[in-house]
Amino acid sequence: MSDEPTIHDLFVIGGGINGCGIARDAAGRGLSVALAEMNDLASATSSASTKLFHGGLRYLEFFEVRLVREALIERETLLRAMPHISWPLRFVLPYHRDMRFESSTPTSRILNTLAPWSRGRRPAWLIRLGLFLYDNLGGRRILPGTSTLDLRTAPEGAPLVDEFETAYEYSDCWVEDARLVVLNARDAEMRGARIMARTKVLGARRAGDLWEIEVEERDSGARRSERARMLVNAGGPWVGDIIHDRVQVDSREGVRLVRGSHIVTRRLFEHDKCYFFQGTDGRIMFAIPYETDFTLIGTTDAEHTDPSVRPVCTPEEQRYMIDFVNRYLKAPISEDDIVWTYSGVRPLHDDGANSATAATRDYTLKVDDTGGAPILNVFGGKITTYRRLAESALARLAPYVPQASGAWTAGVALPGGDFEVEEVEALIARLQERYGFLDARWARRLVRAYGTEADEVLGDAATAADLGRDFGATLTEREVRWLMDREYARTAEDVVWRRSKLGLRLDPPQIAALDGWMETARAHAAAAE
């Protein structure tokens, strides 16, 4: 019997949204796929986003019409495929005719040239034009269009200072970003892919028409070799390091690391809409209803030079965001209102822009086959266009895998997402009816996490006690076992900050107890093998 490793058609480095999206697409086309992620899935950029499927209204100021159009079209495609972890969200953009901005976008520079009286402003006609394009570029069918609010009488005006009398309201979408990654990985695995979390790629070299890849399992330290006909570098912030240090190929493309930080505060308003605030520096800030009892505020744009340095939300960034939203809020907030912060590094394609804010959010795909076996390097991208990026990646690799079938992912449901957008409330009600011990909040959390698979998570439980140990905040042993068996979770951090956001509701001793229980469960499982 041969000890030679299997030859995969495709080996993907990186378990973020782009890597898992590409693995899923490729596996569904009949290709043999393996994916290696050095940490937990979605442990970097893909769990630290602003958690929006959005077209990027402000990108119109930089004339990125193609990117905005693609993202707008994708919103509804993705809504249909994952109605449990993504849902429509209305955005309120307050407008004040005397607000001035010191913006340096291409649009503002043109306006300053054509109309000096408008220097530094986004005039109302420009906002209306942008929203008109936003409503019509993407062939909108599910999401309602733009409307105008009178903030003097509308409930959305109550939390705002009195100067704001008018607002424009438009549509975008929310997404549970880390769950999106895990569900893509699960779907890829169900279609035949090997998903190897906590497996670091130490190096890769070309051996004729194959790649030989050396990997190391993080938990055991065991090393082994893998072989593949093609390599995909979806390393996110580490894409440049992988190119130069791990696979040692030449590339003229560069990555620009931009840190985006967020703060989570107590709930600042009672309605379920998001605010889109404009700053005096031309930047924008979102204030989003979050996890029922909180408000998510973000984001910043700061240069980040080293991907090995863990990004953190600095005190200066916290102060910036607080000052930003306090220009709008009738009841100002302070550092005492912050309950959590997080920060991620966006690996943007380096297009030479003069600021982090102006750097493109579009993606660039580059294939290098000059030394033999091809490698595809992925630069940039945004979560809304991950599926289109994956399709584009497979199109670029098509000449090397003529046996692959065609594009297939548009509208195909992710695990648990096989129901209609309009059916979510009925799904919650049915779950609560079947499991009478669930209250409405618990049932909603489960459906929003697992969709139609919530029944499988709960199984044959007739009482809450049947779900095993209660770790707090409705997290039970049976759900944790599901996350370990089906969703690659290994530690409490995986569970409470990526598979869920229950870390906002659990205290440190509870999280430590969960971690200890999971460690014991892993040891028992290993002994039984």
Domain identity same for 317 and 427: no
Q: What is the pLDDT of residue 3?
A: 59
Rounded CA separation 400/310 (Å): 37
73 within domain boundaries: no
355 within domain boundaries: no
Domain identity same for 266 and 319: yes
Domain identity same for 428 and 509: yes
Number of domains the chain contains:
3
| Tens digit of each residue's pLDDT (9 = 90 or more) over 247-285 | 988 777 778 899 999 999 999 999 999 999 988 787 889
Closest CA to 347 of 203, 466, 243, 228: 243
DSSP SS3 for 131: helix
In angstroms, what CA-CA distances link 285 with 91, 303, 498?
Answer: 12, 18, 23
Q: How many CA atoms lie within 13 A of 341 on its CB side?
A: 20
Domain identity same for 20 and 165: no
Q: Which domain holds residue 519?
A: 421-523
Domain identity same for 479 and 449: yes
Closest CA to 53 of 208, 182, 213, 176: 176
Yes or no: say if 292 and 188 are a contact pair by the CB < 8 Å rule: no
Residues 6+ apart with CB under 8 A from 22: 10, 12, 232, 234, 378, 389, 390, 393, 394
Q: What is the pLDDT of residue 112?
A: 45
Closest CA to 166 of 190, 147, 193: 147
DSSP SS3 for 258: strand
Pick from 349, 381, 408: which residue ends a domain?
349
Structure tokens at 502: 């229950």
Output DSSP code: residue 4. P
Q: Is 205 left (phi over 0), alpha (psi -120 to 50) or beta?
A: beta
386 within domain boundaries: yes
53 within domain boundaries: no
Q: What is the pLDDT of residue 357?
A: 61
CATH of the domain at 315: 3.30.9.10
Pick from 316, 349, 382: which residue ends a domain?
349
526 exposure class (CB count in 10 Å sphere: 0-12, 13-18, 19+): exposed
CATH of the domain at 430: 1.10.8.870
Domain identity same for 218 and 285: no
Structure tokens at 493: 């951090």
Domain identity same for 247 and 261: no
Q: What is the pLDDT along the chain (529 residues), one digit of tens a residue?
A: 445 678 999 999 999 999 999 999 999 999 999 999 999 999 999 999 999 998 877 777 766 788 888 888 899 999 999 999 999 999 999 987 655 544 444 444 444 433 433 333 467 777 888 888 888 887 788 899 999 999 999 999 999 999 999 999 999 999 999 999 999 999 999 999 999 999 999 999 999 999 999 999 999 999 999 999 999 999 999 999 999 899 988 777 778 899 999 999 999 999 999 999 988 787 889 999 999 999 999 999 999 989 989 999 999 999 999 999 999 999 999 999 999 999 999 888 876 665 656 566 678 999 999 889 999 999 988 899 999 999 999 999 999 999 999 999 998 999 999 999 999 999 999 999 999 999 999 999 999 999 999 999 999 999 999 999 999 999 999 999 999 999 999 999 999 999 999 999 999 999 999 999 999 999 999 888 7
Residue 53 β-bridge partners? 173
189 within domain boundaries: yes
E strand or H helix at 217: strand 210-217
Pick from 309, 328, 349: which residue ends a domain?
349
Domain identity same for 237 and 374: yes
Q: What is the pLDDT of residue 122?
A: 63
293 exposure class (CB count in 10 Å sphere: 0-12, 13-18, 19+): exposed
Rounded CA separation 353/105 (Å): 11
